[in-house]
């Protein structure tokens, strides 16, 4: 049982949604936490809101407004992000008051540098858009050999293009979060191609954890929830 009862806000990765995190959220709630899985604008059940105007700032504001309208400001939340959600989290840290985020949990997530877009962070050339959407990444790193991952493949929606092209502006707020944890999927090892992430393994300010899965850590809900609660208790 987790000792510190926290509000936990979960930011999904690109093309995902809150639907992917309901099992993890249920486990966390059973341990007494308030949990807010978010579906970002233009994705999942909010896909009808997709437009050319949806960008990274839109998604950052989805999280900021979840915090604001649930009156979580200054309460020391645990902010969790998966994949692209780590980029969103990094920007949110710049926008919320000090003390709002007690722990940041990056689940196989992006940890971009100041001035990078998502494409630049992933070290891929900016492609031509598919209408208002980002084209699917060739040779992606998401495995689909489990039931949970096959379900995820069915439910994914296209990602608005400008969420991947807008550059992130950072002043160091992410690094001022009191507890920082990175959870890597060992069957993915994409972090070894991301210097911003690889260096965290030897950074004493970050807690480094690994799970025996690919990119979609929510297919191990018990283990993923346990690590989120570890960060909450730290």
111 three-class SS: coil
pLDDT(146) > 70? no
Please indicate, yes or no, if residue 90 is contained in any of the structural domains: yes
For residues 192-204, average pLDDT: 89
Q: How many domains does the chain have?
A: 1
Q: To the nearest 10°, the Cα dihedral for 141, 221, 197, 181? A: 170
Q: CA 66 to CA 84: how far, in whole Å? A: 18
For residues 132-148, average pLDDT: 67
Residue with tokens 């209408």: 131
Return the percentage of the chain with pLDDT > 70, whole number: 93
Closest CA to 165 of 52, 49, 3: 52
Residue 3, judged by CB atoms within 10 A of its CB (0-12, 13-18, 19+), counts as exposed
pLDDT for 149 equals 66
Give the CB-side neighbour count of residue 98, counting CA atoms within 13 A: 4
Please indicate, yes or no, if residue 2 is contained in any of the structural domains: no
Q: What is the pLDDT of residues 46-70, one digit of tens each?
A: 999 999 999 999 999 999 999 999 9
Please indicate, yes or no, if residue 15 is contained in any of the structural domains: yes
Question: Interhelix angle for 56-69 vs 84-95, to 10°?
Answer: 60
Q: Cα separations (Å) of 209 from 36, 95, 137, 201? A: 23, 27, 26, 9
Cβ atoms of residues 17 and 43 within 8 Å: yes
Domain with 27, as residue range(s), is: 7-233
pLDDT for 145 equals 59
pLDDT band at residue 1 under the 50/70/90 scheme = very low
Mean pLDDT of the chain: 92
pLDDT(135) > 70? yes
Q: What is the pLDDT of residues 205-228, one digit of tens each?
A: 999 999 998 889 999 999 999 999
pLDDT band at residue 10 under the 50/70/90 scheme = very high
pLDDT band at residue 140 under the 50/70/90 scheme = very low
Please indicate, yes or no, if residue 43 is contained in any of the structural domains: yes
Q: What is the pLDDT of residues 170-186, one digit of tens each?
A: 999 999 999 999 999 99
Residue 86, judged by CB atoms within 10 A of its CB (0-12, 13-18, 19+), counts as buried
Please indicate, yes or no, if residue 107 is contained in any of the structural domains: yes
Please indicate, yes or no, if residue 65 is contained in any of the structural domains: yes
Q: CA 194 to CA 148: how far, in whole Å? A: 26
Return the percentage of the chain with pLDDT > 90, whole number: 79
Q: To the nearest 10°, the Cα dihedral for 90, 92, 95, 99? A: -90
Please indicate, yes or no, if residue 1 is contained in any of the structural domains: no
pLDDT for 191 equals 79
pLDDT for 139 equals 44
Kindly report the CATH number assigned to the domain that includes residue 101.
Answer: 3.40.50.1820
pLDDT for 176 equals 96
């Amino acid at each position: 049982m987790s000792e510190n009862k926290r509000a936990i806000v979960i930011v999904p990765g690109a093309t995902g949604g809150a639907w992917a995190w309901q099992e993890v959220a249920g486990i966390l709630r059973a341990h007494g936490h308030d949990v807010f899985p978010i579906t970002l604008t233009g994705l999942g059940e909010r896909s009808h809101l997709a437009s050319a105007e949806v960008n990274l700032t839109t998604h950052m504001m989805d999280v900021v407004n979840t915090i604001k309208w649930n009156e979580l400001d200054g309460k020391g939340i645990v902010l969790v992000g998966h994949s692209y959600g780590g980029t969103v989290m990094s920007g949110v840290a710049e926008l919320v008051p000090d003390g709002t985020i007690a722990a940041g949990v990056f689940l196989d997530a992006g940890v971009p540098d100041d001035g990078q877009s998502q494409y630049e962070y992933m070290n891929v050339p900016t492609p031509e858009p598919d209408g208002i959407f980002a084209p699917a990444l060739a040779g992606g790193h998401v495995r689909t050999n489990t039931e949970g991952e096959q379900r995820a493949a069915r439910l994914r929606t296209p990602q608005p293009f400008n969420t991947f092209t807008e550059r992130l502006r950072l002043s160091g707020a992410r690094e001022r979060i009191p507890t920082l944890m990175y959870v890597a999927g060992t069957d993915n090892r994409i972090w070894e191609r991301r210097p911003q992430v690889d260096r965290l393994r030897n950074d004493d300010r970050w807690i480094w954890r690994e799970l025996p899965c690919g990119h979609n850590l929510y297919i191990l809900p018990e283990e993923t929830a346990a690590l989120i609660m570890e960060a909450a208790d730290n």
